[in-house]
Amino acid sequence: MYNLLTLDDVNLRHKNVVVRVDFNLPIIEGKVTDSTRILRSVPTIRDIIKVNGKAILLSHFDRPKGKFIKEMSLEQVVKKAEEVLNHEIIFVKTDWNNMDEARKIIASAPLGSVFLLENTRFHPGEEKNSSKLAKNMASLGEIYVNDAFSVSHRAHASTEAIAHLLPAYSGRALEKELKALSDGLDNPTHPVIAIIGGAKISTKIDLIENLLKKVDGLVIGGGMANSFLYAMEIGIGNSLCEKNLKEIVERIMDKADEEHCAIILPIDANVAWELKTNAKHRFYGLDAIEPNGMILDIGPRSIERIKGAIDEARTIIWNGPLGAFEYEPFDAGTIEIAKYVADRTKQGNLISVAGGGDTVAALAKAGVIDKFTYVSTAGGAFLEWMEGKPLPAIEALKLSRDKIKNK
């Protein structure tokens, strides 16, 4: 579907290559606690420096709102990035309004050097998609590479505007991510089952309505399943529920019938009377939940029902936990289903693609991140892709592709 130009389509030798990476990493007490996003940028950086190109890395970090905040400087990720890349990284304390010093540092460094510039969001023009800031960024190189799917839903200077100013290509991580997503939903092997969880249906209406047109079955879990059960006049006790969305839920169920998409809801539940770790709990059928009880996880019969759907599937798309996975034992349903999907994937029976912040955390807790076909570290971009929305940075790469091909 995307058919973008990649690093295979351009000569990188001795070129200055501006690369948008995502080094917005979790840091505790000055130390990076998860280097996954650095690891995924390594193939692109190595492809540049192995032919004596210079890799000039752009990234944001946190939300400084256009101001310099020392605690949000990218300088603190340099050491970890050097360890992962096994290569020196030159940190450039960038003045985004005047790139003369940055250009001098880059020009004077030897071929094959890697540079990390300061937090792009220290300049207010980044999030405003400023053409002036994008020109300053573009002045550093001859080629632009987007290797950060996680911010490709943002029309920012370093993701969208710059792609109109330099010949623009997709990096290895972006290329891999888009292929995985295309295999998962755009051109999947059917039957396709989507597993959608989380607390509220209000945040995922667009996502669900788009999926109904593309998947064969939709497993609904988490707090959002309660809104479906309520609309079906099934007692949910004191569970989290958006009762005001009953008409929307009914519309979704009608649309599912029209699209011949099966909606798979819980048929039993793990119920507690307070939300905390190791709270007193019991399994109930959905016809017997006490008025003051809260549904916090799916029950054993629901787990078996979902496993049956997975057995029939060839492709699984997953976003959102099936219960209050942050609190044991209400993580049990999510973990058991995650391990089942991982086993089916390992056996070669399933393509499994997952993404979203809570989803990644839940799969990490289950110990199966590396056992899915692909797990996206993107949050908002993954959701907007699932909703069928165009991603501004990807659209910019398409325009650059067409411009290059028409030369």
**Could you give the residue numbers annotated as active site?**
37, 200, 357, 380
DSSP line for 114-128: EEEE--GGGSTTTTT
**Contact in structure between 49 and 55 (CB atoms under 8 Å):** yes
Indicate the pairing of strand 268-272 with strand 54-58: unpaired
CB contact set of 186 (below 8 Å; sequence gap of 6+): 1
Q: Determine which helix (DSSP H) or strand (DSSP E) holds 374, and give its type and residue range.
A: strand 374-376
DSSP line for 283-316: EEETT---TT-EEEEE-HHHHHHHHHHHHH-SEE
Could you tell me how far CA 209 lies from the centroid of its own chain?
Answer: 19
From residue 96, alpha-carbon distances to 62, 126, 212, 217, 286 in Å are: 17, 10, 45, 49, 58
DSSP annotation of 13: T
**Contact in structure between 159 and 397 (CB atoms under 8 Å):** no
Straight-line distance from the first to the last Cα atom of the chain, in angstroms, rounded to the nearest whole number: 22
Is the peptide bond prior to 188 cis by the omega test (within 30 degrees of 0)?
no
Which residue blocks in 212-369 are alpha helix, DSSP H? 223-231, 246-258, 300-312, 332-346, 357-366
**Three-state secondary structure call for residue 205:** helix
Length of the chain: 407
DSSP annotation of 184: I
Q: How would you list the strands of the sheet with 192-196, edge to edge?
A: 262-264, 217-220, 192-196, 315-319, 351-355, 374-376
* Helix/strand/coil percent split, the chain, to 5: 40, 15, 40
Burial per residue of 316-355, b for 16 or more beta-carbon CB atoms within 10 angstroms, e otherwise:
bbbbbbbbbbebebbbbbbbbbbebbbebbeeeebbbbbb
